[in-house]
Amino acid sequence: MANQEPRVIDNQRVLGVVPGKPAAGDRKELQEQDTVMVWPHLLVRHAVAALFVLLVVMLIALFFDAPLREIANPTNTPNPEKAPWYFAALQELLAHFHPLIAGVLVPGAIIGGLVALPYIDRNPSLLPQARRIARVTFTVFMVAWILLTLVGFAFRGPNWSWVWPWEEWHGEL
């Protein structure tokens, strides 16, 4: 940079050329032709996406009522006792492992692993073929989690026994 001729812009005077990196760090600015103005290009798309999401929520809310069971009764434990669906995977693990593992270590490891992910995966490439290990690892965990959630949500009945959801339905939203 310091050895190059300064680029002179029409109607602007060069006051001086300062060698070194920009204050923001060693960052490569984008080429102008790769970019578009956010207004209208991105904002119009965001507006359409937002309206679509609201439409979906509206339709679901019009046709499906939120569940309301009988009033809470601390003396009458339902069987099965189900956690909300996003904790169904943990509840399923709880049926197989010691609570310390299923209730504390696994969720702790998941959150800790997610937080640490960008600091563990130091591979700078964004190319899918260069990120095979990261992609496979993430996919395996994600699929396992989805399966556990499905099992805990829909495939478990009284006393946490196995049921087929098309025969007995015990999922709660």
Partner 1 sequence: MKYLDRIKRSAAYRSIFRLPDVATDRDRAASHWSSFLLHLYPVKVRRRELRFGYSAFLGVASLVLFASLVVSGIYLMFFYVPSPSTAYGNIQTIQTNIAFGQYIRNTHRWAAHLMVLAVAAHMAKVFYRGAYKPPKEFNWVVGVVLLVLTLLLSFTGYLLPWDQLAYWAVTVGTSMASYVPLAGETTKDILLGGPTVGSSTLVRFYVLHVAVLPVATVAVLTIHMWRWRKDAMLTVDEPEIAEPAEDELVLATAEGDE
Residue 9 Cβ vs partner 1, minimum distance, rounded to whole Å: 13
Residue closer to partner 1, measured from CB, 16 or 59:
59
Give phi and psi for 162, each to the nearest 5: -70, 130
Please, which residue, 8 or 24, has the CB nearer to partner 1? 24
Residues 44-83 that bind partner 1 (CB under 8 A): 45-46, 49-50, 53-54, 56-58, 60-62, 64-74, 76-78, 81-83
Q: Which is nearer to partner 1, 53 or 147 (CB)?
A: 53
Identify the burial level of 85 via C-beta atoms within 10 angstroms of its C-beta, where 0-12 means exposed, 13-18 middle and 19 or more buried.
Answer: middle
The reply to whether 27 sits near partner 1 by the rule CB under 8 A is: yes
Q: Which is nearer to partner 1, 12 or 125 (CB)?
A: 125
The minimum distance between CB 151 and partner 1, in angstroms, equals: 16
Q: How far is the CB of 6 from partner 1 (least distance, A)?
A: 21
Please report, as residue ranges, which positions from 103 to 122 form the binding site for partner 1 (by CB under 8 A). Answer: 103-104, 111, 114-115, 117-119, 121
Q: With 0-12 CB in 10 A as exposed, 13-18 as middle and 19+ as buried, what is 160?
A: middle
- Identify the residue whose tokens are 């509840």: 91
Q: Based on C-alpha coordinates, what's the Rg of the chain?
A: 27
Pick 64 or 162: Cβ nearer partner 1 = 64
CA-nearest of 167, 114, 100 to 145 is 114
Q: Which of 143, 168, 147, 170 is nearest to 93 (CA)?
A: 147
Q: What is the number of alpha carbons within 13 Å of residue 115 lying toward its C-beta? A: 6
Alpha-carbon gap, residue 132 to 140, rounded angstroms: 12
Residue window 122-161: x/- pattern of binding to partner 1, with contact defined by CB under 8 A = --xxxxx-xx---x--x---x-------------------
